[in-house]
Amino acid sequence: MAELVKLNIDGRDIEAEKGALLIEVARQNGIEVPAFCYHEDYTLQAACRMCLVEIEKTPKLQVGCTTPVAEGMVVRTDSDIVKKARKGTLEFLLTNHPLDCPVCDKGGECELQDMVFRYGAGESRFVERKHHVDEKQWSPVVYFDAPRCILCYRCVRACNEGMGVGALGVGNRGAVSEIIPNHDDHLECDECGACIDICPVGALTSGSYRYQTRPWEMEHVGTICTHCADGCKTTLGVRNDEIMRGNNRDRSGINDEFLCIKGRYAFDFTKHPERLQSPMLRTANGHEAISWSKALDIIATKFSTVKLAGGKFGVIGSNHTTNEENFFLAKFARQALETKNVDHHRTGDLATLFDALSGKNNALATSADLYNAKAVLVIGADLSQQHPFLAFQARANVRHHNGHIYAVTTGEVREDQQAVASVRVQKGGELAGVESLREKLKAEGDLVVVFGDAVQGDALRKLVAFGDSLGIPVKYVCLVDYSNSRGAFDMGVTPKDGGLSREEMLAAADLDVLWVVGANPLKNTQLVSKKAFVVVQDLFMTETAKQADIVLPAASAYEKSGTVTNVCGEVQKLAQAIKVMGPKTDLEIMGLIAKEMGLNLGIWLPEKVFAEIRKAVHGYDVSPAQLAVGPAATMPLNGRVAALPGAIQSSGDTLFTSGSLTRYSEILNSVMEAPGQLYRGKGQ
Amino acid sequence: MTFSPQLEQRFAKLLTRYPEGRTRSAVIPMLIYAQDEVGAVTRELIDEVAKRCKVTPVQVDEVVGYYSMLHRKPQGKFHVQVCTNISCLLVGGEELYEHAKKKLGVGHKETTADGQFSLEEVECMGACSWAPAVEINYDFHHHVTPEKLDQLIDGLRKAQ
Amino acid sequence: MAKQLYNPPSPLETRVLSKRFGLEGSETLDVYLANDGFKAFLKAKEMTPEAIIEEVKTSALRGRGGAGFPTGLKWSFVPRTSPKPRVLVVNADESEPGCCKDRLLIEYDPHQLIEGILIASLAVDAHVGYVYVRGEYRYLVEKMDRAIEEAYARGYLGDNVAGTGWKFDLHTHSGAGAYECGEETALLDSLEGKRGVPRMKPPFPAVAGAWGMPTLLNNVETFSAIPPIIRDGGAAFAALGTPKNGGTRLMCLSGHVNKPGVYEIPLGFPMMKAINELGGGMRNGKKLKAVVPGGSSCPLLKADECDIPMDYDTLAKVGSMLGAGGMVVLDEDTDMVKFALRIMRFYQHESCGWCIPCREGTTWLRKILQRFSDGHGRREDISLIGELSKNMLGRTFCALGDAAAMPTISIVEKFTEDFEKYLVAKEAVAV
Ligand SMILES: Cc1cc2nc3c(=O)[nH]c(=O)nc-3n(C[C@H](O)[C@H](O)[C@H](O)COP(=O)(O)O)c2cc1C
Ligand code: SF4
Ligand code: SF4
Ligand code: SF4
Ligand code: FES
Ligand code: FES
């Protein structure tokens, strides 16, 4: 328990932890101290001088953002001197700030506007000429308008400290100081938009959102990003069923203010012109649009016939549809189609991990554990590329808790910058690399081990044995791709009990039906069976859809509700942001097929299906009330898990790719050629 | 980028001056010494210094913009800096600067067409007790009068 | 054989630090050794660190870089036994308008500075030091480099200083044009290869300075005063000045006097005597109007406020400062509007831009003063200048904001009539 001190702010007696920052203590007690440069996540700057307060027995006003509280301190945040000082600072700030709030993107959400409203700057006494600089485009994502910038350096810190990129700097000096990008006139960076989001004014704006709409014209829907497995919350700004922007400015998700380019901007695929609008039937002349009833009729008839004939089904689920959809699909396959041939593209060896951990409690790390653990060991993965939020957590851990990062990888990774030790290995040599860290790791208080698909099968068992031998608490994260790989596994979309794996289905010459829900297995593979009737549910004409007999247009994650489970096993709720006209959710499609076949698989509403999941799937007994407020950690089966046939391979997506969706996101394509490669070194 | 052996030697020394892993400290001295040889802080020079000091180019860019003696465009062969700050101001610094403008036919931070001279009105250069003062490249001149400035400039011109 | 100095010495001086100035070869080690050089270091080597610091305290030496902080006290803050190595830094950034003394101490007597640094290194157990020299003083970097080289070659720097087994390395470090880098923490950032932006205090450099290591930073003149203090005793040095204001200092006299120059005088030297005798009186027989007592950051004194002894405490009492020894004398013909403008132009140009009040305040004030001096002043500008300066005063991140505000406030308040003259001229034209 930290030492407490008593102090007085604005006449109120307050107890606070010794050394806590005055601004925080005031805020915790409901006393607002205005601030521009202060940001609790990043280093202190004391640059804006907005937070000046009066402290008894101190001759000058003091900055609340860097002053630690001390016993007996008497503070005034509301005296005339303080009020005057704030006004004076605002007056200074406004001397060079353009008065273009009516057209500024930040209008309505601008901290400067708020402050002027609250603390006043009076009539400006400034009659001189302003220093004008033209707006610049630094990347497809980032625009910079220097005159609006108040030089709070939040963007610089967010990029440097938060992202570990260090793409922004400060150029020039004095009154003409200006934020500068890392390549003369453009940025080569993560394009994450963190700098834009953290900017208190409208100096940094996003290419996709600028001049499109105003904050109060939008509805704000908090949902989960559909791209990688980290499960960041993204709050989508929606106007007229169009997503205008994404952010997590209210910091309500597991990801705090973090989002990468995909979470913040790559929602644009939803309105891509090639989006499938109606069911398509393959004919001699290619695919032709047909009605839903016709499509459902054809599918139901075919499924029923094949089932009756004892034919061979292959069912491939998705690592980005919801838990409810995957659960329903697995149930459909096993109960109705009576097939064990169920699988999805598995990108991490969850089965072996769960088996190796059987009998242990508390052995799976949550995303918060990466932030809190004394040490994080990353094996065989480029975390910043593939799991940007987990990487952010580890960086924040170092920043806020002096956590230790270790990296065992085949090539350079951004984690090296902060790692206490980085080991380079040949592919397959990961365990030897880990072994070389044994003594260091043993000395850590606790450890989170994060590993990619390089560690699977036997190697994974050895890794767990290594963890056991350290004598410290160890938790694991098995890295998987896409927004619901973990959910697909948990929902049983796997060839357990002797079913065919994905590869085996595609290779089976006697396959009668291939049913693909939200996956693209034929991207680089040929379907061997010539007779197979192929049904594909997807958003776009993927390689697999092109070979389908019937393609059904599916809704995306932003167009439906349900739950997904992230890489750390945290279940979170999707919220429907927009309605679509042509496509239907995969759950509804499956429900309609079932209905058409005359099956009773239960009501296909997400809430009803989730109620079933709570009962049927180990570790998912999470109440809707709990889900409504945030993520719930699931627990995997605490017993033996049988090995599964088939390959496990990550698709190696990067910050700027998202599987088959990549090509339908204009924003991802527009920036891809810029960085080419992830920006790594932030220097000394 | 290749530099003269003398400059290379200087760099090598600079990089060993600072504590282990603190090569960033060499950025500013390197830039100013290299600028003397290269003539300006070019993009290429920035990248080179970044590489040698193990920092990112933007970290060097930040510095180049900050320090008033670092410049991205070449200056004249002789850079004439006239102080007009208080001590010089009181004893004719401004008049001297006006005279220099006329004499050279260029203004603040401008270079003569032949590239021989550039002019800059500068802040106090530490010669206040011997004002007005002029610094040409790195050479100080004290108690400068317009006539003395003419002589200095003409002398440099002739020496060409 | 004597050497020509920038200005002839005066018999009114008390030459302690500058006693070798003018000797032929004063910058060489031989001349230094022949004139008391390294006696102090050898003496200090026999003393305990505590005793050295005590001696410096006794000398009542106060920092000569501007703030006048007691040097011995500052030395005692450096955690000598910290597991992190200690670093010494010499502030040779000398950029305060009106000041040109550190230049001479390096130019004429670099070994005295080196010896002072070495003694400090004994006091705080440091083994490396950097002389941060402003970029414009390139010839001094070279002179310092030469002196350092000579000291290494002769065993007065390096692994076995003066045969005592003491190890110390010294390097120069060139700046590149920035007044703000004279501020001690901005200097440290600059030394680390960054923009010269000041740091938050605490931690003070003594605890976490260059590269996070405990750092003792002093002005050139402060370090140069150490050898005489140790050699002749702190008490002897203190006795030269007034109580709490020990010793002598180099004063840079400039402006409207007949004999401007850098002169070494004891603390407490009468200001009028400095003008009338040391400076040879006002130029062209003009009347005194004002004095900038210690460099452009110091509030100006009106002629009738100048009959005072020059020490830190007296200057503080009359609302100004002794600063870094730049005494600028202004005669009756001086246009204070132009003078205020020139000062503000300087600070606006040199503001690092880090904090709002200084960055925007100096810019706004510069624009008003420029407009005023161009003949477009408004009556309300006069009070606005004062108010805006006060909105900067005490609210900026570092003292540069204060340095810009203080002289401006003093000028606009003490010489209001100079501003009004501009209005009258304009109003007359308007009629
Ligand atoms: C804006 C500003 C500029 C300064 N410039 C110098 C300078 O050029 N030289 C110097 O020695 N001190 C300068 N100082 C004072 C230093 O911050 C510091 O107090 C001093 O170097 C400490 O050494 P001392 O105790 O020996 O005086 C400056 C301070 C400020 C606020
Ligand atoms: S990586 Fe790019 S987009 Fe993200 S904070 Fe840095 S500069 Fe901004
Ligand atoms: S661009 Fe925005 S975040 Fe960055 S310094 Fe300027 S105001 Fe602050
Ligand atoms: S007062 Fe502020 S802007 Fe001015 S020099 Fe200091 S830190 Fe920089
Ligand atoms: S919030 Fe305290 S100075 Fe900016
Ligand atoms: S004022 Fe010109 S050199 Fe100092």
Q: What is the CATH number of the domain that holds B9?
A: 1.10.10.1590
Number of structural domains (chain C) is: 3
CA distance A673 to chain B (A): 20
Identify the DSSP state of C287.
P
Identify the DSSP state of A605.
-
Residue B71 lies in a domain: no
CB contact under 8 A, A173 and B65: yes
Distance of alpha carbon C367 from alpha carbon A407, whole angstroms: 55
pLDDT tops 70 at residue A75: yes
Cα angle, residue B22 at apex, residues B18 and B26 outer, rounded to 5°: 65
Domain A280-347+485-651 has CATH 3.90.79.10: no
**Residues C314 and C369 both lie in one domain:** no
**Residues C132 and C234 both lie in one domain:** yes
Residue C138 lies in a domain: yes
The residue assigned the tokens 């002019």 is B119
Q: Using pLDDT thresholds of 50, 70 and 90, give the confidence band for residue C238.
A: very high
* pTM of this prediction exceeds 0.90: yes
**Residues C279 and C390 both lie in one domain:** no
Q: Using pLDDT thresholds of 50, 70 and 90, give the confidence band for residue A673.
A: low
**Residues B25 and B45 both lie in one domain:** yes
- pLDDT, residue C1, reads 47
- pLDDT, residue C425, reads 73
CATH code, C260: 3.10.20.600
A359 token code pair: 């009998």
- pLDDT, residue A122, reads 67
A95 interaction partners in chain C (CB closer than 8 Å): 360, 363-364
**Residues C303 and C353 both lie in one domain:** no
% of chain C beyond a pLDDT of 90: 96
A159 and chain B in contact, CB less than 8 A: no
Mean pLDDT for chain A overall: 94
Residue A298: which H helix or E strand, with range? helix A292-308
CATH code, B115: 3.40.30.10
Identify the DSSP state of A531.
S
- pLDDT, residue A660, reads 87
CA of C354 to the centre of ligand 6 (A): 26
Of A172, A181, A683, the CB nearest to B59: A683
Nearest to A12 by CA among A84, A73, A68, A57: A73
Residue C14 lies in a domain: no
Nearest to A586 by CA among A481, A479, A488: A488
**Residues B49 and B120 both lie in one domain:** no
**Average pLDDT of the segment spanning C414-425:** 93
CA distance A671 to chain B (A): 20
Is the separation of the CB atoms in A553 and A278 below 8 Å?
yes
- pLDDT, residue A474, reads 98
Domain that holds residue B96: 78-158
% of chain A beyond a pLDDT of 70: 98
The residue assigned the tokens 């927004």 is A483
- pLDDT, residue C2, reads 60
Each residue's pLDDT tens digit, A334-379: 999 999 999 999 999 999 999 999 989 889 999 999 999 999 999 9
Is the separation of the CB atoms in B67 and B28 below 8 Å?
yes
Q: Using pLDDT thresholds of 50, 70 and 90, give the confidence band for residue C431.
A: low
Each residue's pLDDT tens digit, C278-325: 999 999 999 999 999 999 999 999 999 999 999 999 999 999 999 999
Nearest to A202 by CA among A121, A131, A98, A123: A98
List of residues 6+ apart from A77 with CB closer than 8 A: A9, A10, A26, A31, A32, A33, A53, A54, A64
Residue C288 lies in a domain: yes
Distance of alpha carbon A495 from alpha carbon A508, whole angstroms: 14
Domain boundaries, chain A: 4-93, 101-271, 280-347+485-651, 350-478
List of residues 6+ apart from A548 with CB closer than 8 A: A280, A282, A516, A534, A535, A536
CA of C345 to the centre of ligand 2 (A): 35
- Residue at which a domain ends, from B18, B33, B66: B66
Mutate which: C355, C366, C370, C372, vs A, most A CBs within 10 A: C355
Q: First-to-last CA distance in chain A?
A: 36
Higher pLDDT, residue A98 or B83? B83
- pLDDT, residue A675, reads 44
Distance of alpha carbon A604 from alpha carbon A624, whole angstroms: 17
How many helices (H) does chain C have, and how many strands (E)? 18, 12
- For ligand 5, what atom is nearest to the CA of residue A48? 4
pLDDT tops 60 at residue A411: yes
**Average pLDDT of the segment spanning C117-123:** 98
**Residues C131 and C43 both lie in one domain:** yes
- Residue at which a domain ends, from C204, C239, C274: C239
pLDDT tops 90 at residue A680: no
Is the separation of the CB atoms in A198 and A154 below 8 Å?
yes
Of A284-293, A645-654, C146-155, C213-222, the one with minimum mean pLDDT is A645-654
Each residue's pLDDT tens digit, A131-161: 889 999 999 999 999 999 999 999 999 999 9
Nearest to A200 by CA among A255, A127, A151, A237: A151
Ligand 4 pocket, mutate which of C347, C397, C402, C406 (most atoms under 8 A from CB): C397
Residue C217: which H helix or E strand, with range? strand C215-219
**Residues B38 and B82 both lie in one domain:** no
**Residues B35 and B105 both lie in one domain:** no
Q: Using pLDDT thresholds of 50, 70 and 90, give the confidence band for residue A103.
A: confident
% of chain C beyond a pLDDT of 70: 99
Atom 8 of ligand 3, nearest CA residue: A152
- pLDDT, residue A640, reads 86
CB contact under 8 A, A173 and B66: yes
B131 and chain C in contact, CB less than 8 A: yes
* CATH topology for the A4-93 domain: Ubiquitin-like (UB roll) (3.10.20)
Is the separation of the CB atoms in A524 and A325 below 8 Å?
no
Q: First-to-last CA distance in chain B?
A: 29
**Residues C186 and C271 both lie in one domain:** no
A331 token code pair: 């149930």
Residue B72 lies in a domain: no
Domain that holds residue C346: 336-430
Q: Using pLDDT thresholds of 50, 70 and 90, give the confidence band for residue A671.
A: confident
**Residues C86 and C164 both lie in one domain:** yes
Each residue's pLDDT tens digit, C377-404: 999 999 999 999 999 999 999 999 999 9
- pLDDT, residue A672, reads 66
Is the separation of the CB atoms in C109 and C26 below 8 Å?
yes
Residue B137 lies in a domain: yes
Any idea which architecture A101-271 has in CATH? 2-Layer Sandwich (3.30)
CA of C184 to the centre of ligand 1 (A): 6
Question: Where does ligand 6 bind, in terms of residues with CB under 6 Å?
Answer: B 83, 85-88, 124-128, 131, 133; C 97
CA of A199 to the centre of ligand 5 (A): 14
Number of structural domains (chain B) is: 2
**Residues B102 and B42 both lie in one domain:** no
* Residue C288 CA to its chain's centroid (Å): 24
- pLDDT, residue A211, reads 72
**Average pLDDT of the segment spanning A71-92:** 95
Q: Is A42 in the pocket of ligand 3 (CB under 6 A)?
A: no
CA distance A384 to chain C (A): 27
**Residues B14 and B57 both lie in one domain:** yes
Q: Using pLDDT thresholds of 50, 70 and 90, give the confidence band for residue C246.
A: confident
**Residues C340 and C327 both lie in one domain:** no
SS3 at position A244: strand
List of residues 6+ apart from A227 with CB closer than 8 A: A262, A263, A266, A482, A483, A658, A661
**Residues B22 and B83 both lie in one domain:** no
SS3 at position C133: strand
Ligand 3 pocket, mutate which of A45, A148, A150 (most atoms under 8 A from CB): A150
pLDDT tops 80 at residue A638: no
Ligand 5 pocket, mutate which of A43, A65, A89, A119 (most atoms under 8 A from CB): A65
SS3 at position C34: helix
List of residues 6+ apart from A57 with CB closer than 8 A: A74
C192 and chain B in contact, CB less than 8 A: yes
- pLDDT, residue A249, reads 83
List of residues 6+ apart from C297 with CB closer than 8 A: C66, C96, C321, C323, C399, C402, C403, C404, C406, C407
What are B140's strand-pairing partners? Answer: B135
Of A188-197, A252-261, A651-660, C8-17, the one with minimum mean pLDDT is A651-660
Residue C66: which H helix or E strand, with range? none
Mean pLDDT for chain C overall: 96
Distance of alpha carbon C33 from alpha carbon C151, whole angstroms: 11
Residue B97 lies in a domain: yes
* CATH topology for the A350-478 domain: Dimethylsulfoxide Reductase; domain 2 (3.40.228)
pLDDT tops 90 at residue A91: yes
- pLDDT, residue A676, reads 42
Each residue's pLDDT tens digit, A522-572: 999 999 999 999 999 999 999 999 999 999 999 999 999 999 999 999 999
Residue C1 lies in a domain: no
CB C7: neighbour CB atoms within 10 A?
A: 17
What interface predicted TM-score (ipTM) does this complex get? 0.97
- Residue at which a domain ends, from C284, C300, C331: C331
SS3 at position A313: strand
**Average pLDDT of the segment spanning A25-53:** 96
C292 interaction partners in chain B (CB closer than 8 Å): 86
- pLDDT, residue A199, reads 96
**Average pLDDT of the segment spanning B104-122:** 97
**Residues C176 and C102 both lie in one domain:** yes
